[in-house]
Structure 1
């Protein structure tokens, strides 16, 4: 039995599709979901559904009973009073349930940055790495999928790209960094969950096929959309103001700003790209498959 958290999100939903394609028996997969109605009808008929939040002790206790492996992804919480409550606080109940039910393997979505020197906290990244340590402390076999920024984050700016021809970010326009598509994260998770011959604790970096500058990204988006698209760098102070205006809690805003400051200073660039760390989806392919439909919707 494989338990999947966040099964209606970009990563969890794609992972569920992959696992259903390989599953031969109904009941081999279990999902934890707040609203089962968000699952497609065909999916609801083939999985065991536990309704609720995977931060709830009673929910994860029921979900992990009889489970061999768990896919762990923490949902965002823009209103939380502290960054620790979003990450290690949310995961605490799960670690107890992993131990109680003797779950053998866990695959988690994490971030690049372990061992990379940063001045102070790296916000969400620092909190994510603490979750990896917490899960590993249970003695479960654990693989942390460590990621740079997602290509899919650009979709949040589809309206701006369509209406103004501009997308923004905090990186300098000429700063090259890795990017990964969420579909490739899901594929890597599926590979690990289906072949559980691995033991111990390790990180699995997923770096995408190439490092890109925001200028490179703007050029590719322009070619795919058939119109000129420009990148504008946003200051960290501006990012703080925008997140605050959207209603994010002060500690969450600070964590985002600290994370982006660390990325500006090389947080995502320390791991070398090798065949093992290279995922297949190019930014051009992602723009064609995902961004263009969102812009033209």
Structure 2
């Protein structure tokens, strides 16, 4: 089977590539900068330099491919949904032009809303476009990535609390990117499914932010708190790090769009539950990143 993988150096993509290599597949990997591939993986893949927003380049890079793992590239522009639309155009062009009959798409919990969830609306647009192609497609509706905590790493090192705009007692799915990759690789390699499929990837447990803070405190050995701030306060913080107005609203929308009466289309079952716990991830990954930081006396 000839399999192509996008974002092969990302939080999920790098694990997809490794899983395929372990399975005996030599994947074709699409990325802007092949030098970003780890040295140990370069000889195990066929790397193609490509911009996912360039539909012609993506089509050329996926010629002869049987199955595709597609991740919409992150947007840093003024109009993120327009960027998602461009990425969607690229994957549609590649699938239709090359007769690719099998796609695994990294989507998100919340895409089932179809609108009103910020950047997630862009993933919903890609889902809809792929559904219209009459191919075998699996949409991975992923929970909140553990690795998103690294976005507040400087604050954690300084002993500051995590800051969020969601209710602190609202449970949500938390998931390890490596677990998402394992599901993606299994879907890419399996021939026992067909048609349109939705596969939620909810991680090991639904957690509130209060529970997250307690788990991180125990796993890292340092006191980690959490506080809810206003939407405007978060908006101001995002502007301060250089985000455009459009990007700020798209990022905020991923939280504000899911905090009122949202229920995922697929509930937690053995099919949607993956093994890695937040405690295990925090001990293995977050604790070393905080090891050299001064401890808070709070």
Residue of structure 1 in register with 2:72 after alignment: 74
Residue of structure 2 in register with 1:181 after alignment: 176
Match of 1:47 among 42, 45, 48: 45
Give the whole-Å Cα distance in 2 for the aligned partners of 1:51 and 1:145.
Answer: 25
Residue of structure 2 in register with 1:246 after alignment: 241
Of 255-264 and 139-148, more deviation after overlay is shown by 255-264
CA distance 1:252–1:70, change in 2 (3 Å):
same
Alpha-carbon contact 2:176-2:281 (below 8 Å) kept? yes
Residue of structure 1 in register with 2:162 after alignment: 167
Q: Superposed, which structure 2 residues align to 1:211-250 within 5 Å?
A: 211-250=206-245
Shift of 1:279: 1.0
CA RMSD after TM alignment: 1.7
Residue of structure 1 in register with 2:296 after alignment: none
Runs of 4+ in 1 over 2 A off after TM superposition: 113-116, 266-271
Report whether the alignment pairs 1:10 with 2:11: yes
Alpha-carbon contact 1:112-1:268 (below 8 Å) kept? no
Residue of structure 2 in register with 1:32 after alignment: 30
Match of 1:109 among 101, 106, 109: 106
Unaligned segments of structure 1, at least 5 residues? none
SS of structure 2 residue aligned to 1:55: coil
Give the whole-Å Cα distance in 2 for the aligned partners of 1:134 and 1:29.
Answer: 25
Give the whole-Å Cα distance in 2 for the aligned partners of 1:159 and 1:2.
Answer: 38
Give the whole-Å Cα distance in 2 for the aligned partners of 1:275 and 1:58.
Answer: 40
Shift of 1:199: 1.0
Give the whole-Å Cα distance in 1 for the aligned partners of 2:140 and 2:256.
Answer: 22
Residue of structure 2 in register with 1:288 after alignment: 283
Shift of 1:271: 3.3
Match of 1:131 among 104, 108, 126: 126
Deviation string, structure 1 residues 225-251 (Cα, Å, up to 9, x no partner): 112211111221112111122221211
Give the whole-Å Cα distance in 2 for the aligned partners of 1:196 and 1:104.
Answer: 12
Alpha-carbon contact 1:50-1:59 (below 8 Å) kept? no
Match of 2:84 among 83, 87, 91: 87
Deviation string, structure 1 residues 34-61 (Cα, Å, up to 9, x no partner): 1111112232212111112122123212
Alpha-carbon contact 1:155-1:294 (below 8 Å) kept? no
Normalising by structure 2, report the TM-score: 0.92
Normalising by structure 1, report the TM-score: 0.92
Aligned length: 291
Deviation string, structure 1 residues 29-86 (Cα, Å, up to 9, x no partner): 10111111111223221211111212212321222111000000112122x2323222
Deviation string, structure 1 residues 71-104 (Cα, Å, up to 9, x no partner): 00112122x2323222122220221121111111
